[in-house]
């Protein structure tokens, strides 16, 4: 499954890449306006993929861009969709590798559904990402994720942010995910904000700080 993307370089000769995955019903344009708001100190390439269109059970079977199906009656119903979407995003990572961008200079970011895919891929990756950025999201099937995580991912910096008034994904679900990862020895940079299911200005400031990982010396080849 090849994904269509929007690509933006914040300046010439980017020193890192951010692959940013949107949420349910949105598309790659959703976070495009954020690029100038981040006021980055280093040149970064942003890759904003579009999720494929699919029928979404929780929305009455309506077709929309979604990384996976959500069926309220079956919490694990989207598992195969998640695996397929993560594999498609991995193809984007490998495309960046072929351009000379090693995986440890790639930030894998995702909002809501996109964060679920970022977690799925980043925790299982053979190579360490610069940062896993999980915004208003959770770890799918957190009770069993420890059976699949990779050794390389353990020291990946993880930025988690969530709104305390999120009506779509309650913050308790994110906290449960954070605790599951902490129990596996992941180091979580946790942030919570007085907001709902979106991104706020204070969060953008914290996101910008997390990008300093892209200025560190590389260790991995891919």
Tell me if residue 29 is catalytic: no
Q: Which of 197, 198, 206, 220 is catalytic?
A: 197
Point out the catalytic residue in the list 112, 125, 177, 210: 112
| Tokens 């679900």 found at | 173
User: From the CB of residue 206, how many other CB atoms can be counted at a distance below 10 Å?
Assistant: 14
112 is a catalytic site residue = yes
Chain centre to alpha carbon of residue 1: 18
Question: Which pairing describes strands 44-49 and 131-135: parallel, antiparallel, or unpaired?
Answer: unpaired
Q: Give the span between the Cα atoms of 174 and 163, in whole angstroms.
A: 10
> Active-site residue 198, yes or no?
no
User: Catalytic one among 69, 166, 177, 210?
Assistant: 166
- Facing residues of 65 across strands? 53
| CA dist list (Å): 116 to 52, 166, 197, 209 | 15, 16, 15, 22
Residues that are catalytic: 112, 166, 197
């Amino acid at each position: 499954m090849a994904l269509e993307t929007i690509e933006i370089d914040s300046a010439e000769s980017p020193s890192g890449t951010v692959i940013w995955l949107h949420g349910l019903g949105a598309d790659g344009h959703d976070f495009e306006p954020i690029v100038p708001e981040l006021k980055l100190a280093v040149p970064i390439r942003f890759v904003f993929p579009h999720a494929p269109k699919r029928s979404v059970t929780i929305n009455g079977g309506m077709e929309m861009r979604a990384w996976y199906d959500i069926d309220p009656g079956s919490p694990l119903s989207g598992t195969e969709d998640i695996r397929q979407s993560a594999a498609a995003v991995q193809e984007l990572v490998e495309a960046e590798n072929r351009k000379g961008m090693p995986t440890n200079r790639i930030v894998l970011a995702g909002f809501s559904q996109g964060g679920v895919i970022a977690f799925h891929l980043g925790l299982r990756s053979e190579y360490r990402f610069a940062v896993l950025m999980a915004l208003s999201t959770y770890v799918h099937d957190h009770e069993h994720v420890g059976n699949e995580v990779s050794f390389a991912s353990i020291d990946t910096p993880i930025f988690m942010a969530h709104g305390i008034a999120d009506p779509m994904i309650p913050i308790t679900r994110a906290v449960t995910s954070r605790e599951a990862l902490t129990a596996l020895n992941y180091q979580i940079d946790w942030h919570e904000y007085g907001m709902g299911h979106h991104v706020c200005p204070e969060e953008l400031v914290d996101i910008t700080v997390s990008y300093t990982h892209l200025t560190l010396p590389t260790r991995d080849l891919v």
